[in-house]
Amino acid sequence: MKMHDLNIRLATTDDAEELLRIYTPYVEDTAITFEIAVPTAEEFRGRISAILQKHPYLAADSEHGIIGYAYASAFKNREAYDWAVETSIYVDQEWRDCGVGTALYQELERWLKAQNILNLNACITYPNPDSIRFHRGFGYRQTAHFTKCGYKLGAWHDVIWMEKMIGRRRNPPEAVIPMDALIRQMNVGKS
Ligand SMILES: CC(C)(COP(=O)(O)OP(=O)(O)OC[C@H]1O[C@@H](n2cnc3c(N)ncnc32)[C@H](O)[C@@H]1OP(=O)(O)O)[C@@H](O)C(=O)NCCC(=O)NCCS
C-alpha cells in the first residue's frame, strides 16, 4: 500500500467496531495491553468520545478500512500534569511494518503540539522489541522499568515507560487547549 492511500483522520464513535476489531487480538492473545476482557463496542464508543474531549484520537483509514489507530490520554489527573500525556497505538496485525504507525504518530504529535502539550509518555510491556524500536525511532527514551507488575495469560510481566519532550518549556507555560476547543477553533478558522 502506498502511503498516499492512507488517510489519517480524527476517529469518531462510529469507528468503535473497526477499532475494536484491531484491538481484540492484542487483548486476547498478547500482554501488549494489560486489559484482559475485550471491551464491548459500547464501552469503546464511550472511551473514544471521552478522549476526544481533551486529546486527539486518530484512525488510519485506507481502501481496506481502518488499519490502525493512535490516541493520547491524560498521564495523571492532577492539573499540574496537564502538559503530559500517555500515547497509545495499535496497528492491524496484517499491516504492521508498512509505515502506518509512523503516519499515525506524526499526525498525533502535530495535534499535541497544537494543544501545547510538552511531554509524551508511552507504557510498554517488556519485552516488546518492535514497540521499543518504534518509539526510540521517534525520539522517545526509556525512563522507568517496573518489574512483574502485571499478570496476564499465565505469566507476570514487566513494563517500561519511555518519554519524549515535544516543546519549549516556558515559565509560565502556555495553557493546554482541550481537543474539543481546538477543533472548534479550526472550524471557525475555515468559515
Ligand atoms: C509498534 C507499532 C505501533 C509500530 O507500527 P508500524 O506500523 O508497525 O510501524 P512502521 O511501519 O511505521 O515502522 C516500523 C518500521 O517500518 C519502517 N517503515 C516505515 N515506513 C515504511 C514503508 N512504507 N515500507 C516499509 N517499511 C517502512 C520504519 O522505518 C520502521 O523501521 P524501524 O523500526 O527499523 O525504524 C505496531 O507494530 C503495533 O501496532 N504493534 C503492536 C501493538 C503495540 O505494540 N503497540 C504499542 C504498545 S506500547
Instruction: Give me the pLDDT at residue 186, please.
Output: 83
- Which ligand 1 atom sits closest to the C-alpha of 133? 33
Q: Which pLDDT tens digit goes with each residue over 104-146?
A: 999 999 999 999 999 999 999 999 999 999 999 999 999 999 9
Which phi and psi angles does 3 have, rounded to 5°? -65, -25
Spacing, Cα 119 to ligand 1 middle (Å): 21
CATH T-level topology, domain 3-190: Aminopeptidase (3.40.630)
- Which ligand 1 atom sits closest to the C-alpha of 70? 3
Q: Which pLDDT tens digit goes with each residue over 7-62?
A: 999 999 999 999 999 999 999 999 999 999 999 999 999 999 999 999 999 999 99
Q: Interior CA angle at 79 toward 49 and 44, to 5°?
A: 20
State pTM to two decimals: 0.95
Q: Is the CB of 134 under 6 A from ligand 1?
A: yes
Instruction: Give me the pLDDT at residue 188, please.
Output: 77
| Residue nearest atom 1 of ligand 1, based on CA coordinates | 131
Instruction: Give me the pLDDT at residue 180, please.
Output: 92
Please state, in angstroms and rounded to a whole number, the distance separating the CA atoms of residues 124 and 50.
Answer: 23
| Residue nearest atom 15 of ligand 1, based on CA coordinates | 97
Please state, in angstroms and rounded to a whole number, the distance separating the CA atoms of residues 165 and 173.
Answer: 14
pLDDT band per the 50, 70, 90 thresholds, residue 86: very high
Instruction: Give me the pLDDT at residue 145, please.
Output: 98
| Residue nearest atom 4 of ligand 1, based on CA coordinates | 101
Please state, in angstroms and rounded to a whole number, the distance separating the CA atoms of residues 130 and 39.
Answer: 25
Spacing, Cα 96 to ligand 1 middle (Å): 6
3 pLDDT higher than 90: no
